[in-house]
Amino acid sequence: MKRVLLPMMLLLMVVIMTACGQEQTTGAGSEPSPSSESGGAEKKVIVLGTSADYAPYEFHKSINGKDTIVGFDIEIAKAIAADMGAELKIEDMDFEGLLMALSTDKVDFVISGLTPTEERKKNVDFTDIYYYAEQAVLVRADEGESIASLDNLSGKQVGVQKSSIQEGIAQDIQGAKLTSLAKIPELILELQTGRVDALILEKPVAQQYVKNQEGLVVANVKIEQAEDEGGSAIAVKKGNKELVDQINSTLEKLKTGGDIERFVVEANEMLGE
């Protein structure tokens, strides 16, 4: 017994020590670690909540062997943090958990291609809209022709991301049966294996899948949306007027300077690499 115990204890100590030396276990090392040795005043930290499975809005990319969260939403977040003179920290979590994280102070603001709906407005405050995206219907290539309008989805199995704006659109289709899942890749699998007949996704996202997976096409369907329904805005905790104003002024600057379009193009280029 003793002979077994000693090596086990040693192993245990080594693991504990290495574990303690490794702080950065969450957020996938999305940010450079705070430069503690470079001295200077303590920098303010602002925490961004996002669900990084939504290319080109936000997604993971290996940059110089380091897992990094990138995308045009992230570029906007960086600009906001820079204007506030704060350091940006990114928390990546499930989409459904985002608004909850906001109201429980886990994060300061959420940028995740969020559409400001009336229901969400009850729980969080939104900034101005920074980007309008079109919705698209993604289907298997052999069914591309048969779907020409949303009404054609009646009686079909339709996949959408849980708690997303697309879920609301799909719910309005008469007779459509819904499959709501947390992550987009799972929806793609459902489509490829024939368990759902169509997915409703934002167009830039759908187009990336068409480019990267064989046998998928974007159906020729135009989805009508009210102006205020298709846009993405940034969410902050209810009642934090100061932060909303601050972010709005940054957004205004980015919009007039044409920076947001540039971010979108760059994010799409990053995906193609």
Residue 173 or 198: the one with the smaller Cβ distance to another protein is: 198
DSSP symbols for 207-252: HHHHHHSTTEEE-S-PPP--HHHHEEEEEEETT-HHHHHHHHHHHH
- Beta-strand pair 66-70/58-63: antiparallel
Residues from 214 through 253 that contact another protein (CB under 8 A): 214-215
Under 8 Å between Cβ of 94 and 182: yes
Residue 129 or 182: the one with the smaller Cβ distance to another protein is: 182
Is 109 a binder of another protein (CB under 8 A)? Answer: no
* Region of 27-35, 111-119, 167-175, 223-231 interacting with another protein (CB under 8 A): 27-35
Is 142 a binder of another protein (CB under 8 A)? Answer: no
Is 271 a binder of another protein (CB under 8 A)? Answer: yes
Q: How far is the CB of 234 from another protein (least distance, A)?
A: 19
How crowded is the C-beta side of 110, counted as CA atoms within 13 Å? 33
Q: How far is the CB of 197 from another protein (least distance, A)?
A: 16
* Region of 24-32, 124-132, 173-181, 221-229 interacting with another protein (CB under 8 A): 24-32
SS3 61: strand
Q: How far is the CB of 63 from another protein (least distance, A)?
A: 10
**Rounded-to-integer distance, Cα 156 and Cα 197, Å:** 6
**Hey, what amino acid is at 14?**
V
* Region of 40-48, 57-65, 160-168, 247-255 interacting with another protein (CB under 8 A): 57-65
Under 8 Å between Cβ of 131 and 56: no
Is 266 a binder of another protein (CB under 8 A)? Answer: no
Phi-psi region at 29: left, alpha or beta (left = phi > 0; alpha = psi -120 to 50): left
Take residue 185 and report the two structure tokens written for it. 């890749």
Q: Which of 31, 46, 48, 53 binds another protein (CB under 8 A)?
A: 53
Q: Which of 202, 209, 234, 267 binds another protein (CB under 8 A)?
A: 209
**Rounded-to-integer distance, Cα 232 and Cα 131, Å:** 5
Is 92 a binder of another protein (CB under 8 A)? Answer: yes
Cis bond before residue 56 (omega within 30° of 0): yes
**Rounded-to-integer distance, Cα 51 and Cα 114, Å:** 10
Residues from 58 through 87 that contact another protein (CB under 8 A): 59-62, 65-67
Is 139 a binder of another protein (CB under 8 A)? Answer: no
Nearest Cα to 264, choosing from 57, 48, 54?
57
Residue 63 or 148: the one with the smaller Cβ distance to another protein is: 63
What is the contact surface with another protein in residues (CB under 8 A)? Answer: 1, 4, 12, 15, 19, 22, 25-29, 52-55, 59-62, 65-67, 91-94, 97, 100-101, 104-106, 183-186, 188-189, 192-193, 208-209, 211-215, 271
